[in-house]
Amino acid sequence: MRHLAIIVPASLLLAGCDRQPDVTFADASITLPDDPLSLPDLPGRDAVIANCTACHSPSTMLQQPKVPAAKWESIIGKMVEVYKAPIDQAAVPEIVQYMVAAQAAEAEAEASTKPVNVRRDTSAKPGTAGV
Protein backbone atom coordinates (compact mmCIF):
# COMPACT_ATOMS: atom_id res chain seq x y z
CA MET A 1 0.00 0.00 0.00
CA ARG A 2 2.90 2.34 0.64
CA HIS A 3 4.03 2.02 -2.99
CA LEU A 4 0.71 3.02 -4.38
CA ALA A 5 0.75 6.34 -2.63
CA ILE A 6 4.01 7.24 -4.35
CA ILE A 7 3.37 5.72 -7.75
CA VAL A 8 0.04 7.38 -8.46
CA PRO A 9 1.13 11.00 -8.10
CA ALA A 10 4.39 10.29 -9.98
CA SER A 11 2.55 8.86 -12.97
CA LEU A 12 0.20 11.82 -13.01
CA LEU A 13 3.18 14.11 -13.04
CA LEU A 14 4.70 12.29 -16.03
CA ALA A 15 1.45 12.33 -17.92
CA GLY A 16 1.38 16.07 -17.46
CA CYS A 17 4.90 16.52 -18.87
CA ASP A 18 4.64 15.07 -22.35
CA ARG A 19 1.33 16.68 -23.15
CA GLN A 20 0.95 19.87 -25.07
CA PRO A 21 -1.48 22.26 -23.45
CA ASP A 22 -4.90 22.07 -25.03
CA VAL A 23 -5.60 25.73 -24.60
CA THR A 24 -3.60 28.86 -25.10
CA PHE A 25 -4.15 31.93 -23.02
CA ALA A 26 -4.14 35.37 -24.48
CA ASP A 27 -3.83 38.51 -22.48
CA ALA A 28 -7.21 39.83 -21.67
CA SER A 29 -8.48 42.70 -19.66
CA ILE A 30 -11.83 43.96 -18.65
CA THR A 31 -12.81 47.49 -17.97
CA LEU A 32 -15.14 47.94 -15.09
CA PRO A 33 -17.56 50.83 -15.29
CA ASP A 34 -16.49 53.81 -13.25
CA ASP A 35 -18.18 53.81 -9.92
CA PRO A 36 -19.89 57.15 -9.54
CA LEU A 37 -19.28 57.03 -5.81
CA SER A 38 -16.15 56.65 -3.77
CA LEU A 39 -15.95 55.97 -0.08
CA PRO A 40 -15.84 59.32 1.70
CA ASP A 41 -12.83 59.95 3.88
CA LEU A 42 -14.35 59.44 7.30
CA PRO A 43 -13.25 57.49 10.38
CA GLY A 44 -13.62 53.74 9.78
CA ARG A 45 -12.93 53.91 6.04
CA ASP A 46 -9.97 51.52 6.35
CA ALA A 47 -12.14 48.97 8.16
CA VAL A 48 -14.72 49.13 5.38
CA ILE A 49 -12.05 48.71 2.72
CA ALA A 50 -10.58 45.74 4.60
CA ASN A 51 -13.90 44.00 5.25
CA CYS A 52 -16.39 44.97 2.59
CA THR A 53 -14.90 46.12 -0.71
CA ALA A 54 -13.80 42.65 -1.80
CA CYS A 55 -17.45 42.04 -2.67
CA HIS A 56 -18.94 45.50 -3.08
CA SER A 57 -18.39 48.71 -4.92
CA PRO A 58 -18.93 51.84 -2.84
CA SER A 59 -22.21 52.45 -4.68
CA THR A 60 -23.62 49.07 -3.70
CA MET A 61 -23.02 49.84 -0.06
CA LEU A 62 -23.90 53.50 0.05
CA GLN A 63 -26.88 53.64 -2.29
CA GLN A 64 -29.15 51.86 0.09
CA PRO A 65 -32.08 53.28 1.98
CA LYS A 66 -30.72 55.38 4.80
CA VAL A 67 -30.95 53.18 7.88
CA PRO A 68 -29.97 53.57 11.51
CA ALA A 69 -26.96 51.93 13.18
CA ALA A 70 -28.92 48.92 14.48
CA LYS A 71 -30.02 48.07 10.96
CA TRP A 72 -26.44 48.30 9.70
CA GLU A 73 -25.45 45.87 12.42
CA SER A 74 -28.01 43.40 11.18
CA ILE A 75 -27.00 43.92 7.53
CA ILE A 76 -23.39 43.17 8.46
CA GLY A 77 -24.58 40.14 10.44
CA LYS A 78 -26.35 38.96 7.30
CA MET A 79 -23.12 39.35 5.29
CA VAL A 80 -21.41 37.01 7.75
CA GLU A 81 -24.19 34.46 8.21
CA VAL A 82 -25.70 34.29 4.75
CA TYR A 83 -22.83 35.26 2.46
CA LYS A 84 -20.00 33.93 4.64
CA ALA A 85 -18.14 37.23 4.55
CA PRO A 86 -14.94 37.04 6.60
CA ILE A 87 -15.63 40.17 8.63
CA ASP A 88 -13.50 41.06 11.62
CA GLN A 89 -16.02 41.22 14.48
CA ALA A 90 -13.87 43.74 16.34
CA ALA A 91 -14.24 46.12 13.40
CA VAL A 92 -18.05 45.97 13.25
CA PRO A 93 -18.79 49.00 15.50
CA GLU A 94 -16.38 51.09 13.44
CA ILE A 95 -17.94 49.91 10.18
CA VAL A 96 -21.45 50.65 11.46
CA GLN A 97 -20.40 54.14 12.48
CA TYR A 98 -18.78 54.69 9.10
CA MET A 99 -21.81 53.54 7.11
CA VAL A 100 -24.16 55.84 9.01
CA ALA A 101 -21.82 58.82 8.59
CA ALA A 102 -21.07 58.03 4.94
CA GLN A 103 -24.74 57.73 4.04
CA ALA A 104 -25.41 61.06 5.71
CA ALA A 105 -22.53 62.66 3.78
CA GLU A 106 -23.76 61.11 0.54
CA ALA A 107 -27.31 62.36 1.09
CA GLU A 108 -25.97 65.82 1.78
CA ALA A 109 -23.82 65.85 -1.35
CA GLU A 110 -26.77 64.66 -3.42
CA ALA A 111 -29.08 67.30 -1.97
CA SER A 112 -26.61 70.07 -2.74
CA THR A 113 -26.44 69.14 -6.43
CA LYS A 114 -30.19 69.15 -6.85
CA PRO A 115 -32.44 72.17 -7.13
CA VAL A 116 -33.92 73.20 -3.83
CA ASN A 117 -37.43 71.93 -3.08
CA VAL A 118 -36.92 68.64 -4.93
CA ARG A 119 -35.96 66.89 -1.76
CA ARG A 120 -37.73 67.64 1.46
CA ASP A 121 -35.99 66.90 4.68
CA THR A 122 -38.78 65.68 6.88
CA SER A 123 -36.38 64.76 9.66
CA ALA A 124 -35.63 68.42 10.46
CA LYS A 125 -37.05 69.50 13.77
CA PRO A 126 -38.72 72.87 14.13
CA GLY A 127 -36.20 75.57 14.87
CA THR A 128 -33.24 73.61 13.46
CA ALA A 129 -33.77 74.39 9.78
CA GLY A 130 -30.73 75.80 8.10
CA VAL A 131 -28.41 74.87 10.95
Q: Contact residues for ligand HEC (CB under 6 A)?
A: 51-52, 54-56, 61, 64, 75-76, 78-79, 83, 85, 87, 95, 99
* Shortest-Cβ-distance residue relative to ligand HEC: 52
Q: Kindly tell me the number of DSSP H helices and DSSP E strands found in the chain.
A: 5, 0
Angle at 36 between CA 65 and CA 80, to 5 degrees: 50
Q: Are 52 and 61 in contact (CB under 8 A)?
A: yes
The CB-of-7 to ligand HEC minimum distance in angstroms stands at: 41
Residue with smaller CB distance to ligand HEC, 94 or 116:
94
Q: Mark out the alpha helices in the chain (DSSP H runs).
A: 2-17, 45-51, 58-62, 69-81, 92-112
The CB-of-104 to ligand HEC minimum distance in angstroms stands at: 15
The CB-of-42 to ligand HEC minimum distance in angstroms stands at: 14
The CB-of-131 to ligand HEC minimum distance in angstroms stands at: 29
Residue with smaller CB distance to ligand HEC, 51 or 106:
51
Burial of 107: CB neighbours in 10 Å, binned 0-12, 13-18, 19+: middle
